[in-house]
Chains A and B, each alone.
Chain A
Amino acid sequence: MTIYSLYILNKAGGLIYQTDPCPGLNKLSANEYLVLAGTLHGVHAIASRISPTAPTPNTGFFGTGKAVAGNCNTSGLKSLETDAFAMYVFQTVTGLKFVLVTAPGTRAQADAAELVLCRIYECYADYVMKNPYYSLDMPIRCDMFDEKVVEVTQVVV
């Protein structure tokens, strides 16, 4: 799975992190990245409104005894597949969104992508949230986090 790009959005839809681990995408201007993130946030919310009600009951942790891997994105935009790329959206209970843009892949790739996003969430919890000088909801500028993201995204390449 080639990972082209990773976006992290705060709960208000603001872009707080963007990186391109693998070359292959055109670079956008800083402003265009922000607009893209905001649009994604909006489309995600709209998708959750138009998706059919009464989906499979969310038995979650207590029903299955197995962790649902922290992805609370049950009715919003989960993935987008095109001939040129695929996109996966992971949302935490606190409202953060982790978005992965990859080369197009098979069905199984969605699970792999979710796993990568889980790992990135753990790195975020460790290297961003535990950095006392990081202010919440602000753009992430933490070198250690950058390094970890590279590590995680390289492993699956």
Chain B
Amino acid sequence: MSKTIKATADDIWKNKVEKINSELFTLTYGSVVAQLCRDFHNDYVQVNAQLERMGFNIGIRLIEDFLARTGLGRCQSFKETAEVVSKIGFKIFLNVVPLVTNWSGDGKQFSLVLEENPLAEFVELPQDDKASRALWYSNVLVGVLKGALQMVQLEVDVAFVKDVLRGDDATEIRLKLIKVLRDEVPAGED
């Protein structure tokens, strides 16, 4: 099964996705974050919140692109969702495949571990301690995941727990399924 996913994702990545220069992408994101830090006078909690909000607005739109291009139907389990997010979602939009790991016993929480983070390629956080303790530089991803999953009726709690920029050993995003919004699942599906 995972082989089919990989082949499908590769095919979509090769044939159906517009690509841009990754440096332009990284620099654009960097200047957004830096500007936010200036605007909020280095109040990193606010910056995190702002990034998440921006990501959320991206996610609720991006999901349509994802569905239209992949032609995927609804996932039957949260495990399946995890696979799709990592092997298809991250793959076609960022060309990285985060590792799905650290499942909780009840199967409602998992982590995405990014070996490579295209958003943070040339980044060093400001030297002050505050930044490395409070700022989640790539927090836009949290918002994107939340927004996109909400549009397919999954209420999910998403948060960074580790970031190599802060000196951690890995970059890790934690996803926790709060509930499936069954009332909002459109009529006509089974």
Residues of chain A touching chain B, judged by Cβ–Cβ distance below 8 Å, are 11, 44-45, 47-49, 55, 58, 60-62, 65, 67-70, 72-77, 91-96, 118, 121-122, 124-126, 129-130, 136
Return the contact of B64 from the options A73, A91, A124 (Cβ within 8 A).
A124
Asked if B61 and A130 sit within 8 Å, CB to CB, the answer is yes
- When C-beta atoms are compared, the residue in chain B nearest to A134 turns out to be B61
- When C-beta atoms are compared, the residue in chain A nearest to B60 turns out to be A136
Residues of chain B touching chain A, judged by Cβ–Cβ distance below 8 Å, are 1, 4, 8, 60-65, 67-74, 76, 80, 151-152, 184, 186-190
**Inter-chain contacts of A73 with B (CB < 8 A):** 188-189
Residue of A55, A65, A95, A126 with most partner-chain B CB within 10 A: A95
Asked if A70 and B190 sit within 8 Å, CB to CB, the answer is no
A102 to B74 alpha-carbon distance, docked (Å): 28
Return the contact of B1 from the options A62, A124, A136 (Cβ within 8 A).
A62
Asked if B67 and A93 sit within 8 Å, CB to CB, the answer is yes
Asked if A70 and B67 sit within 8 Å, CB to CB, the answer is yes
A61 to B96 alpha-carbon distance, docked (Å): 21
DSSP class of B's interface residues: helix, strand, loop or mixed?
Answer: helix
Asked if A118 and B190 sit within 8 Å, CB to CB, the answer is no
Asked if A130 and B187 sit within 8 Å, CB to CB, the answer is no
**Inter-chain contacts of A136 with B (CB < 8 A):** 60-61
Asked if A72 and B186 sit within 8 Å, CB to CB, the answer is yes
- When C-beta atoms are compared, the residue in chain A nearest to B73 turns out to be A60
Asked if A93 and B152 sit within 8 Å, CB to CB, the answer is yes
Asked if A125 and B190 sit within 8 Å, CB to CB, the answer is no
A-B contact pairs, 22 of them (CB 8 A): A11-B184, A44-B187, A45-B188, A48-B187, A55-B190, A58-B190, A60-B73, A74-B190, A75-B190, A76-B187, A91-B186, A92-B67, A93-B67, A93-B186, A94-B63, A94-B151, A94-B152, A118-B71, A121-B68, A122-B68, A124-B68, A129-B62
- Closest A-B pairs by Cβ, 7 of them: A76-B188, A67-B71, A95-B186, A45-B187, A65-B4, A125-B65, A125-B68
Asked if A67 and B8 sit within 8 Å, CB to CB, the answer is yes
A92 to B64 alpha-carbon distance, docked (Å): 9
Asked if A129 and B188 sit within 8 Å, CB to CB, the answer is no
Asked if B186 and A11 sit within 8 Å, CB to CB, the answer is yes
A44 to B69 alpha-carbon distance, docked (Å): 25
**Inter-chain contacts of B8 with A (CB < 8 A):** 61, 65, 67
Asked if A93 and B74 sit within 8 Å, CB to CB, the answer is yes
